[in-house]
Amino acid sequence: MAQLPSTLFITGADRGLGLALVEEFLRHGVDVFAGIHSSSAEIRGLTNVDYSRLTLIDLDVSAPDSIRSAAAAVDRHTHALDVLVNNAGVHLEDERVPLEELDFDDGHLERSMAVNAFGPLRVVQAFLPLLEEGTTRRIVNITSEAGSIVACRRDREFAYSMSKSAANMATSLLNNYLVPRGFGVMAVHPGWIRSEMGGPEADLSPAEAAAEVAGIILGPLPENGAIYIDHRGNNLPW
């Protein structure tokens, strides 16, 4: 295991994988700053965790002002952040809609890109000063195998898949830019999760996925230099 981080910020922490990651890291004794967009009800209902280590931060990753406010809020608590997990994401369109039925006026493509692709980049920019003062300097973008161009098997889900490909490119660019400054940057596919986005037939519970993703975050960087990996550490094709 790599050095245990002292502080971690996670976006999209109010449900699904994000909520499970909050619980997982609190149990590791990490001070967690949880970016929430809709409701804090579920996060306040966690049991057997140290709430003194949890700070809730209002955050909309598609709104620059909200991101800047979130960074300022975290800075009031700590001047150093060890890990940033960009977990917030949306899957807006009906995956069964073929090309002929796509509605380009419903805003799904623009909203998906704003949250899934540009959101993580905005968050990294705003939190970079805090991360540069951190010890582990780890940035993890939760993406998807849907963003792989080489392994593409879908014939629809345009907005979601295209936005995840863009998020993967952002990860690669950030890796090139920040690794010389002592950072580790990764894009992690968390698996198919039983959540609002993944549906009830998915393979993994949020807790199971969170345990595996946390293992990736807490572990050493892959020796082969891979930065696009799945929840078990397997290299994924771009």
Say which CATH number the domain at 201 has: 3.40.50.720
- Report yes or no on 99 lying in a domain: yes
- The answer to whether residue 1 is domain-embedded is no
Model confidence band, residue 41 (pLDDT cutoffs 50, 70, 90): confident
Distance of alpha carbon 8 from alpha carbon 219, whole angstroms: 15
CA-closest candidate to residue 22, choices 202, 94, 40: 40
Question: Where residue 168 falls among pLDDT bands split at 50, 70, 90?
Answer: very high
**105-113 mean pLDDT:** 94
Q: pLDDT tier at 160 (50, 70, 90 boundaries)?
A: very high
238 is a domain residue: no
Residue-wise DSSP of 179-206: GGGT-EEEEEE---BSSTTT-TT-SB-H
Q: How many distinct structural domains can be found in the chain?
A: 1
The whole-number pLDDT of residue 96 equals: 78
Q: How many other C-beta atoms are found inside a 10 Å radius of the C-beta of residue 136?
A: 20
Averaged pLDDT for residues 174-191 = 97
User: Is 82 within a domain?
Assistant: yes
CB of 176 closer than 8 Å to CB of 221? no
User: Which domain, by its residues, includes 226?
Assistant: 7-230
pLDDT for 1: 56
Quick one: pLDDT at residue 135? 96
- Per-residue confidence at 133, pLDDT binned at 50, 70, 90? very high
On the 0-12 / 13-18 / 19+ scale of CB atoms within 10 A, 75 is middle
Q: Which residue has the tokens 């939190």?
A: 127
Judge whether residue 40 has pLDDT over 60.
yes
- Model confidence at 2, pLDDT cuts 50, 70, 90, reads low
Q: Is residue 88 part of a domain?
A: yes
- pLDDT interval class at 38 (50, 70, 90): confident
- Report the DSSP beta bridge partners of residue 193: 204
Q: How far apart are CA 194 and CA 209, in angstroms?
A: 10
User: What is the pLDDT, as a whole number, of residue 110?
Assistant: 96
User: Rounded to whole angstroms, how far apart are CA atoms 237 and 233?
Assistant: 13
* Nearest-angstrom CA–CA distance, 159 and 143: 14
Task: Compute the CA torsion angle 30, 31, 37, 40 (nearest 10 deg).
Answer: 90
pLDDT, tens digit (0-9, with 9 covering 90-100), for 183-216: 999 999 999 999 877 788 889 999 999 999 999 9
The three-class DSSP label of residue 55 is strand
Three-class DSSP category at 113: helix
- Which residue(s) pair with 204 in the sheet? 193
Active site residues: 160, 164
Averaged pLDDT for residues 64-84: 98
Amino acid (1-letter code) at residue 21: L
Cα–Cα distance measured from residue 90 to residue 167, given in angstroms and rounded to the nearest whole number: 13
Q: Alpha carbon 146 to chain centroid distance?
A: 15
Q: How far apart are CA 22 and CA 49, in angstroms?
A: 10
User: pLDDT tens-digit profile of 52-67?
Assistant: 999 999 999 999 999 9
